[in-house]
Structure 1
Amino acid sequence: MLRTLLHKTLLTAIAILLGGWAVVAQQNVVKGTALSFKVDDNPTVDYRWVIYSVEAGTTVNLSSNTHISDEYTFNVEGNFEVRVYPVDKTSRCLGEPLTLPISVAGDPPTIVFDDLSTPYVCSANNGLNSRAEIACTVNYTGPLPWTFKYSVDREPAVLPPGADEIWSSSFDFVVTIRNESGLKSRSEIMIVEARSLSGLEVVENIDDHSVEIDVLGLPDTKFTDYEPTAMAGTLQSFKANILRHDPDITPSSPANRKRYEIIVPDGATVLNENTRLLADELHSELSFDIQWGNELGAKQIKLIEKNAFNCYGDTIYADVNLIESFMVDLGDDKEVCKGNEITLSPSINMEGDFKYSWSTGEKTESIQVSAAGTYTVTVTETNLNKTSMASVQVNLLDLPVVDLGDDYELAEGEVKTLDAGAEGAYLWSTGDETKTIEVDKSGLYFVTVTGLNGCEASDEINITSVNDVFAIDLGDDIQACVNEEVILNPNPSIQQNYKFKWDTGEETQTIRVTESKTYTVVVTDDAGNVKRDEIAVVFNALPIVDLGPDRNIYEGESLVLDAGNAGANASYSWSTGESSQTIEISEAGDYSVTVTNGNGCSNEDEITIIKNAGQKFTVDLGDEIEICEGDRAYLEPTIDRDIDATYKWIPGEATDKGIYVDKKGKYCVEVSDAFGNKETACVDVIINKSPIVDLGDDISLEAGETAVLDAGNADSFFQWSTGDITQTIEVGTAGDYSVAVTNPKNCIGRDEVKVSFPRGETFVGFPSGFTPNGDGNNDVLYVRGNNIKTVTFIIYNRGGRKIFQSNRLDVGWDGTFKGQLQRMDTYVYYLNVGFDDGTSVQKRGEVTLVN
């Protein structure tokens, strides 16, 4: 009873003292760790502390008799128990002990990044393989439990799921490698913050703690040709650029041989798939047709492609709107002034081969009309034999009625009022802009009236005077502008017959002049009276006004319009009411400016500003492009919205959407939209050297001999005709061997070598001795030969005991029996080989093992 009571005085766990603080019981430590222990203090008992070695069966008594033990250093590996016995202070009876197991490891913890089964992963994309994942394993030696974190490309450390407390020496986890660029890259996975939960840090070793992973690039699939609108039930063609595709792979080939997949909506069928190798020999053009069903609305074709490493590229989309029939539109009703013409031209919401039939009987796409009425056009799509119609009403607008009356003769001192009549805007030959003017001298007067509906009409009247005496007057010298029409008229004061003679040689009453000079005229009447007059005409230059092409502006954007510097005393009149040389605008509309220079000559220009709500486009040629010697890169800009683009490449001045380049340098493209907006993007093209691969001359081997083929070019990716992916391979059979070497720049070099045996195609043998000392040279005894179908290879020791047997050419004797290396001696072999041609051979002999 006393032992039981004394045991109940203890806690149910022993605490370890580290640095004066009590921590949770810990069962695993490393050799050389010093610990002390404690239990709850009970004043009625003393304590006896013992360290028990499980393997040795020995105990060490600690001197402390309190509830806190002495410090004890665990200098030996193994399993121990810390035992504490309660001792009654009165009876000195010993109670049941409380025990804490301790496991002592020999060395500080280490961690090793295990070899990865896959040397590369695919880039992330928007479809399949949306996350690039790779399985990793780390091996740990040290006290359990333990924990660690990992970092990808020096990003913040991540704790793998389940790694907060690991109770095994090997831990598997999955790492996600992100590579949004889609280009080939290399990522580093590094183990960080590795330690045992007892606080022991893992020994630092960068080589053991990190591994580099090749992240493979993705195909750059692009749709190149299709119409965004089609009619239901029709056949529509599509084209796309994909990686080089074997033309022998047809739509009926197994899915695992095709590198692309076309995904269509319900009711649609893919027909007529075909691939054609492009000129760059790196890409193929994929063409196919879609047979649409009868369901209308928005549809989407999806195309996804994978490369030779089964990395899936981004899914690309072709959006098509299926309509029942195409739509024809002639716009709103039209108005035209009587006597004028207007052009009617239909707009159609899809591409096609159309024929036109107008209600007027005309068959052209557009017609000119001048009469009021309803005009109808019937449009037929010839391939589909479908029609659509549209109509528009054309209304005629009346001209203003302008009548200045009959010609009139003024009485002496009379002033006559001329009245333009109709309401509207007026422009008289005198320069007046009023409805009426007063005249008191002879002359030809005319007026143009623009009615309230915008239509124009004119009239003229000849005014003479009873007091007119034959006289002429060319008027004052004229300062004109180069764009003005200057007509010189001597203006005879009496209406009668005259003869006119100008110094220009002309004999008409009026002449038109465009040259700065002094002009002279001589006028003679029927009575022989002669009058002479002259006038100086100076044509001044117009100010240069250029607001540039029509522009687009966007939300939050403003533009400065500059009318240009027209010199001293120039004046500016904008449609906005402003009078400065420049104005700043931020709204859509038509803007015009009239500039008048110091000579009074005016010029004007206008510009249309279209406001795009947040639709400004950007152009991107991507990051620096690396290609291999002899390859070409296809450059095509990415535009972030759909525009009617034109292209100008520098250098070269090409105007294609995309170009192929094979030389190093900077290439730029200037993209313009229909409104003249321009954006430029540039990209550097770098030419990388391809690896030089030399497997040497053809090789001749004797029976049992092997040859090491070395592709060189360390740090590259290797693909041998044997399926190996190492830099070197060891061969011992005749045949043609080839290797493709892909360097870190993804450039490829190739070579091949022929290995032959001079004794013929059917033989077998192996060396008379081998040295399994681990130096990498002749460590394993293999059977070698040509055209071998079956093999039985047995080794006996001197006592006749069979110590090795193999039925495979790739499994040889490494000199061991039951895991133990055999002594240096001569051993007996038996060999039975069957060849592909049905013949066989048996051999017996001796082979020497040299340590």
Structure 2
Amino acid sequence: MILLSIFSHAYAQSNTVAFISNSDKTLCPQNNGILTSVQTSSLDISGPADKIWFASYSVNGGPAEKMNEGFGINTGIFTFEISFPNVSNRLKTFTVRIEEAWLEDGTPLPITEEERSRNITVYPLMNPSVQTYENKVKTGSEEDYTIIIGMNSLYTKELPVGAEEISFQTEVIDPYKYVNIRIKWQAEAGITTFKSIEKTGFGCVSDTIYSPIELKSEFSLDLGEDKNICTGESLTLTPTIDLKSEYAYSWSTGEISESIEVSKSGLYELTVTDLRDNQQITDQVQVTVHDAPAINIADVIMMDGSPIIVSAQKDGCTYLWSTGDTTPEIEITSPGDYSVMITSEYGCTNSKSFTVKDQSSFFTLNLPNIVHMCAQETMTLSPYMDIDQEYTYEWSTGSTEREIEIDHEGIYTLTATDPNGYSQTASSEIYYHTKPIVDLGEDFILWDGESKQLDAQNKGASYLWNTLETSQIITVNSGGDFWVNVIDEYGCANSDTVFVDYRKGEKFRVELGDDKSICAGDSVLIVPLIVGHPVYPLTYNWINQNHTEAEIYLKEEGDYTLEVTDNLGNMESAQIHITKLPLPIVNLGEDIIDYPNIEYELIANVDKVSYNWSTGEVSKSITVENTGTYWIEVINEFQCSARDSIYVKFLNDYPFVGIPKAFSPNGDSHNDILYVRGTDIDKIKLMIFTRTGTKVFETTDVNQGWDGTYNNQKQEMDSYYYSLDITYTNGVNINKSGKFTLLR
């Protein structure tokens, strides 16, 4: 980016266009700060003084640009200031060349070839480097930082309010200078930065480097997510702490080391103490020890010559069979010895070996695989054996009877043993199902000509409505009770009823808008919106408000309900909630009379608000030096505001400084110039504005007055406004403002 500032001078020159009086220069590069004089170069170009002329220029052979933003130049010497960036890490030369010049009618103007261009050399932009540092530190702590700059450069820093430099040392290791500083950080937590600036031996200033710091009032402690281990294993618990310091550790186990080994389930708690300020933080972690997954495969399994399926299925597990399979179950086609190893989601393993034999020599035990029951039903579970002989029975419930009564769901396993000691095992999985959930919804209203669908849901079930319809969904267009009986796939039944209120007239609804929040002392106008086509006239009733008009002003917190009834007696209602927000409280204290000093600090006694003083300042406190009334307005997080004012009167009476109430720049040599007059004046700054706010004059010279012109044009007779900053010889600053009249 090239920055350009334009000036003009009314000197007589020839029709030839050329650079004049400016030799080649060396500048400092642009940086991310405000431009200074060492970063800019003034270039003067001569041209015809009595004509309007134009010129264009280029930089380093780039596209030509018109001077003076394309406007005609009406002076003999045209001056502009120019500056350049340079991030090349070396000196870089920029050639500014006059490309073309012409008069207003297009006639070309000659350009002196030897004065056609100027070279501007720009020093490289330096970049101080802040070495790696801890970007999280504790409030009030002292921390060390190292910044690397050029060996011949100077280092400047800017610390946030409340931070303090404790030490500052430099060390030169060619070709760099290492700046080592220790900073004591402020006591207020939050995100802040410190700024680093390098100034070279040529007086050039680098980019400002911003180093972010998070100031924390306390360190954080984290033992991580809850842990899972297997029986027989152990793990190491080690805390993570975000701030560097010296810490002491106290575990709920009594150990005081930073890390501990655990092998039992439990809640482990660690308290860490920062030895620098005795701050303590506690965290917990749950450790769960998991058993290896159980494998429910019998030691001996029968087959009748056909392939059988053997399953070790467990949710979340992986499998490895002796056959090489990795599926939850395998198909076995021949008798033999087999095994399986399964691993749970927590990495816990178990294994099982079993034998598969031919069925011809064994009895068969059968139980129903799956039984579906409805809520509160009972059943008798009885096994079937294909060989009639004496057996002993062992159920998973502990019963040794042949049959058991079932009244809740679960997996029921029976092991039957024949007189020869051979055992067979079978299981039944009993499911209890709740009745299907049938919900036809709340009772509702149908208006003339309306209809609505009723949905019994439970797709795939069977349905019977009191209308004798058997579909899941029916359409109703009349009033009365409607019920449905639903039977699901398991034979479990349930029903529901809904009442339809059929009304004459047309449907309407009442809307009061979103809930409102108001500041204490304010009120809000609620205007209801009637949507639809009720039969007018309507009546309104604000519940518990003794108010029967449609609109209402509300100023108290609470819930408000409006009932609207049409001419047919159909009533609809709506509700709105009003929240009252608190006002901030601000007190500047009693008026200050005859204060003996030359300044006084006014402080707003309220926090967590925004501030707006009558002086235009927005800080919590201001310092005043002039007698007068000062007010402050504070706005809290709810955008509620409050004001207070105070009158301050100083003993000091400073000498008068001001301007006349009127002047007449009519050329009669009497009162033609408006001057600032007074005594004991050190410095001034006078600005004059039209009644529309256009600034027509500015000076800092007490001996320079306004002649009533702007851009060489006489200004109209009118009232004008001024702002006058005065610095007395004793250093006191005051400001005056007002208006005066320009007479012709």
TM bin, normalised by shorter chain, reads 0.3 to 0.5
| TM value normalised by structure 2 | 0.41
Q: Which of structures 1 and 2 has the bigger CA Rg?
A: 1
TM-score, normalised relative to structure 1:
0.36
